[in-house]
Amino acid sequence: MKIHYCTDYEEMSQAAFESFYAGLKTSPRTSICAATGHSPTVFYEKMVANYQEQSELYNALQVVQLDEWFGVSADDPNSCEHYIQNKIVLPLNITEDRYLSFKSDATEPEAECMRVQKELNKREPLDVCILGLGKNGHLGFNEPAAILSDVCHRSTLSEASMQHSMTKTMTHKPQYGLTLGMKDILRSKKIILLVTGTGKELTIKQLLTQKVTSQLPVSFLWNHPNVECYIDSESL
């Protein structure tokens, strides 16, 4: 894992985008896994700004949703689907055949996870996985646990996840999430980890010890050969 200390959120977002852009220029048929939340927002805005200048680079871009709140309508402005549609899919003109996501209103979540997993199994590994750092060190909704799941699954949300900023105005707060498993995250050819936000100081310190433990899922990124970690120094 390469650690890049940035002076602030803007510099972090710009540096991460430049890393992504360098790869996109050489391989426009890029597939990305997209996280949601505050951490990657400006990164995505920079993608959109670049698309407006070089749209041809994005004509074959494929997008995979990292996770979703289970039971939250896709129309809910706090859903991951709403976020990705408005930040990535619509602005970059991603066609339906180039977007894979969870159906949060699925009546059988396990079957829904199996559907997404089967589609992932047909594909080559993701080219770039864009991740944020949760306050408890989760990756997607792979929460701290004795054992982490390899495949897409319904996850019981931790207290930290249920207190996420996206849930604050939800009428009914979710208890479960649908998420990619650790296998597909770690199979990605490249991972961009964005570290920003308050209340993460201890988690950052734990990550930087390089100790790999299922109680800190993000620590498994130390086992990956190509991780670019951008840390907003204002969050330290």
Q: Which residues are catalytic?
A: 67, 136, 138, 143
Q: Is the dihedral of CA 36, 40, 45, 49 positive or negative?
A: negative
Q: Inter-axis angle of helices 9-26 and 41-53, to 10 degrees?
A: 50
- DSSP H/E element including 117: helix 109-122
List, in sequence order, the alpha helices (H) in 123-195.
159-162, 182-187
What's the CA gap between 15 and 148, in Å, rounded?
31
203 alpha carbon, distance to own chain's centre: 17
CA 120, CA 226: separation in Å to the nearest integer? Answer: 20
Per this entry, what is the length of the chain?
236
Which of 71, 68, 66 is closest to 107 using CA atoms?
Answer: 71
The closest of 134, 109, 110, 130 to 191, measured between CA atoms, is: 130
**Amino acid occupying residue 15:** A
Q: Are 236 and 11 spatial neighbours (Cβ–Cβ below 8 Å)?
A: no
